[in-house]
Amino acid sequence: MRFHVVRDPQARPAAYRKLIRAAVRDHTVTSGVLAMVACGLVITACGSQNAPGAASSADTTRSPSSPSAVGACVTAQLKIGLTNTGALAGQAGGYLKFTNDSGTPCRMSGWPAVIGLTATGQATRLRRMQSSMFGAWHYSARPPVVTLQPGDSAYAIVAADDKPAGGNARCPAPYARLRVSPPGDSANVTISAWLPGAVSYLPSCTSANGSPTAGTSTITTFSSLPH
């Protein structure tokens, strides 16, 4: 028995009946051939059937967004606070915690902008630290990009020397509040600078040359900090 590929879609029904009649007369057509006939001359009708292991459109899983496709976290979508506070090795501080409080992922990288405010309203911009005894943090040449799914958090150390330096008998009045912005965003929130673990507010002690010692680290993950 010979098969003829019919290219005209209108002629397929006639070819289909011809093959069936030939199969009945011959009685030697295998089940595989009948399967091909039932599929409508292979390729055309059977093309929609998935081979084992092939993914259909319904089975395809969308790949997660790449970091470059995720927008930067902005203040409006973050919940910001202080955690893991305490005093260690001549410094007092804690971890600024940035939690994605929105329904979409976002990313953070670099230094947050933090301004310390005394009880009288005197404002001091905290420096960008290159290292900190509190949290044993050291700057890396390329700050990590931390992608936050909804509910995830990123962190930055905020700390200051808690003892007077040089000829100073005592430190200036501590910071009572912190005005915080995530990297790259000008909007901000103001939070308390109280450090429960140190039983004090964030110190505003200066170095021997009179410069403020309070500073912040770059954004990092909780797993990279002692806890």
pLDDT tens digits for range 164-181: 998 888 999 999 999 999
pLDDT at 226: 74
Q: How far apart, in Å, are the Cα atoms of 53 and each of 61, 68, 186?
A: 14, 31, 50
pLDDT band at 67 (very low <50, low <70, confident <90, very high): low
Sketch the domain layout of the chain as residue ranges: 9-48, 71-224
Instruction: Report pLDDT for 68.
Output: 61
> 73, 66, 227: which is closest to 151 by C-alpha?
73
Residue 218: CA count within 13 A, CB half-sphere: 16
**Inter-residue contact 226 to 136 (CB < 8 Å):** yes
Neighbours of 83 (CB within 10 A): 14
pLDDT in tens, 103-160: 999 999 999 999 999 999 999 999 999 888 777 788 878 899 999 999 999 999 999 9
Helix (H) or strand (E) holding 35: helix 31-38
Task: State what percent of residues in the chain have pLDDT above 90.
Answer: 58
Neighbours of 128 (CB within 10 A): 15
pLDDT at 19: 43
pLDDT of 71 over the 90 cut: yes
CA atoms within 13 A on the CB side of 206: 13
- The reported pLDDT for the residue numbered 66 is 57
pLDDT digits (tens, 9 = 90+) for 8-40: 444 444 544 454 454 444 444 444 433 443 444
Predicted TM-score (pTM) of the model is 0.69
Query: Looking at the predicted structure, is the pLDDT value of residue 54 above 50?
Result: no
Contact (Cβ atoms closer than 8 angstroms) between residue 107 and residue 117: no
